[in-house]
Every structure is written in structure tokens, then in C-alpha cells.
A and B are shown apart, each in its own frame.
Chain A
Amino acid sequence: MNTTYDLIILGGGVAGMTSAIYGARANLRVLILDENACGGLVNWTKVVENMPSYTSIGGMELVERIQEQVEALGVDIEEAACIDAIDFSGEEKIIEADDTVYKAKAVIVATGRKPVPLEVAGECDNVHFCAICDGAAYKGKKVLVVGGGNSGFDEAIALLDQGIEELMLVEKMDTFFAAQSAQDELQSRPNSTISHSTEVTDVVYGEKLQSVTLRNVATNETIEHECDGIFVFMGQEPGTEVFEGQLSLDKQGYIDTDDLMKTSVAGVFAAGDVRQKKYRQITTAMADGTIAALEAERFIHSITE
């Protein structure tokens, strides 16, 4: 098996797959390595309505269509790939995954982000990050949703649709960040309550989860709130530990890049949610992926001419 490529893309989300399309159309030999399934966070998005081309489309369906396009262009894709080591120090970029050594002239890092955990909860069978996966277990029970962004509100509605008896959504900040339509939808449900300026400070277990302690961050008042399960949607953070010492990262672990998606290492580019940036949307991921691939192509030509 030939494991030497022109361009290796780490991460098969929208940014990575867009890069792959541009790379393949530039006649580069391209590989995508993803530790999960291609699609990244878009797989977790029930409905996408902000991307030009579809008024409304399911996240997984959108991913499938992009992946079909990528595969039709001859891009190799390795999903469920465990990345063991990387070495970006030489002219040839080296990535070890699944006991295989891959080499490339250029690399695009598009590994995205992963959910922020609820630190106070620790290990607990009753803390979840996916309403579709785990919501049915709480039919007729009480749940707490943590996070006042779009994910928090959308997943709360999905939980109620699965028969949750009583739902409370809390957000630590003094406002909710979800689309107003999602907020209105949840507030119209009779068995839900929402509170901003509220954080979880403790979790009480017996044989199973019994309650949480909620603190009003404005007044410092605390209350005990009974619940059977907690669903956490507190945003995302980058999983960039593997790049420490290889690439320049900011304090939060995001990869530093310039406007052309160049990292601190020549021949290594970053695109999408993993890079330090202000707006993280499907459309901005596509833009990043486009620029990264075009710059990678220029870089490859510059070292092979």
C-alpha cells in the first residue's frame, strides 16, 4: 500500500472535505484521516439552514453529499483512524496512525473541536452529550440541560419530544445565545423552564444521580434541583494536544494561523474550528478549507519545481 501523499488532511469535517475537493481538483494525491466518521460537528446538527444551496437540510445528509463528492474525486479516506504520532519537523511530514506511517509534502489540520465537559460531574452514567443517543432513557423523568446556545436549546426540544417529564435549561452567562426561534419554541413548552446566570456547582449521587446544586451567579443564591439526568452542551474546545510542541497554539489550544491558513510550520496549514478565529460556521469552515488547499497546492509546487 502506497502511503505517501501530496497532501494529508487531518480531520474530515466540512473544512477538511472542502480542502480535499480543492486538492483533488488540483491533481494532488490526497488522503483524509479522521479519528471518527467524516462530517465532524455537522453530524450533530439536526438541521442546517444557514448554508447557501439548501433552504433546510439535515446535518448528516449534508455530510453524506459532501463525502460523496470527495470520494468521486478519488480522495482516499481513512475513518476511525487512531493517530499515534506526528512529526512536522522535516521537509516530509510524517503521521503515524493505526500502525501505518503516512508521509506527505503538505498537511492541513482540520480536526475541529470536541464538547466541553461538565467538570463538576466527573464520571457519571447520567451525564450525556447527545439527546438522540441517550434521551429515550429519560422518558417520563426529569433532566437538566446545561448550555444556552443553539445546541442547548435544540437538544432540549429534542429531549422533550422524546417524552421528558420535566426539563430545566441553565446558562451561566447573563443571556442566552441561541436563535430566538429556538428560545421561543422551548419557552412554549409547558414542562420546561430556562434560567440564565445559573451554574451547576455540585452533583449529588446516591446509587444514581439524585440532584444538582445550582448557583445564581448574580445573587450567589443556591438551590437543590432534583433531576435524573444531565445533558451538557457548553460549547466546544480543540483537541490539539497531539500538536503541542509541533505547532504554535494560543492559550485555549487553538492553532495560530495567518489569513492564508499558514501555521508556524512551513507546509502545515490549519482550517476550520481548530484554528484561532472569531466565527465558527459551516460557511467559514468551507472558506478556510478552500484557502488552506490553495495555499497547500502553491507550497507543494514551490518545493517540487
Chain B
Amino acid sequence: MSTITSIPKEHLDNFFASLSDAILFFHKELCPHCKNMEKVLIKFSAKAPSVEIFSIDSEIHPELMKKLSFERVPTLVFVRNGEVVKVHSGLMNPRELKTLHASL
């Protein structure tokens, strides 16, 4: 479903250590909330091009969800300087996403 770039394997192998400012979008195929969240991320990305945004199909990588302690989608995982700094499940609009990202 997602038109956002799938996360490259090297980022998975080192558990995001090489990412400086990124949002990881965990989603499922045929999830309507995920489809809406994807549009929000695309809009956010246009205004914040320095933030890397990657998609992760939660059904392909359930181990990551378990490791990060969440079970629902859509979920955004915010990474700063190689560290997971925030995990947020549920919908946001572009303004809410911008505010949350700026607060981290």
C-alpha cells in the first residue's frame, strides 16, 4: 500500500542507529487508518524534507513491533541520532504531527 520508501535493510540490521532524524511508519495492507496516515506523512514530508520517512509493513516485521512494545497500526516511531525517542499509535493530522516532531 505505502508509497513511502520501505526502510532499507541496513537500518533494520543496526536497529536504526544510522538514522539522525527519521520517522518510521508501521502499517498494514488494507488498513484504512494507515492509508490516511500515509497521506499525512507525505504532506508533512513536503514541508520537512530533512526528516527521513520510511515505511515498515508490520506484518512482514512483527518482531520489530514486539521489540518496540506496540501492537497497533498505524504507529509512528520517531528516531533521533540513532535512538528511538517516541512511539505514537493512532492518527494525527499534519499539524499535530508537526507539533509532536518539533517537541522531541
Contact = CB atoms under 8 A, between A and B. Distances in A.
Contacts of B71: 134, 136-137
Interface string B77-92: 0000000000000000
Given A80-B42, A136-B71, A43 B35 contact: yes
A253 interface: no
Contact of B94 (A44, A58, A82): A82
Contact of B74 (A58, A133, A136, A137): A133
A43 B94 contact: no
A263 B8 CA distance: 51
B72 interface: yes
B61 interface: no
A46 B102 CA distance: 36
Interface residues of A, number: 19
Main SS at interface, chain B: helix
B28 A132 contact: yes
A133 B35 contact: no
A98 interface: yes
Interface stretch (A2-10, A33-41, A239-247, A287-295): A33-41
Given A80-B42, A98-B94, A137-B71, A37 B35 contact: yes
B48 to A, nearest CB: 14
B39 A82 contact: no
A133 B72 CA distance: 6
Nearest to B27: A133
Contacts of A130: 31-33
Contacts of A46: 30
Nearest to B71: A137
Interface string B19-57: 000000000101111111011101100000000000000
Interface of B: 1, 28, 30-36, 38-40, 42-43, 71-74, 93-95
28 contacts: A36-B36, A37-B35, A37-B36, A43-B32, A43-B35, A46-B30, A58-B30, A60-B32, A79-B42, A79-B43, A80-B36, A80-B39, A80-B40, A80-B42, A80-B43, A82-B95, A98-B43, A98-B94, A130-B31, A130-B33, A132-B30, A133-B32, A133-B74, A134-B71, A134-B72, A134-B73, A137-B71, A137-B72
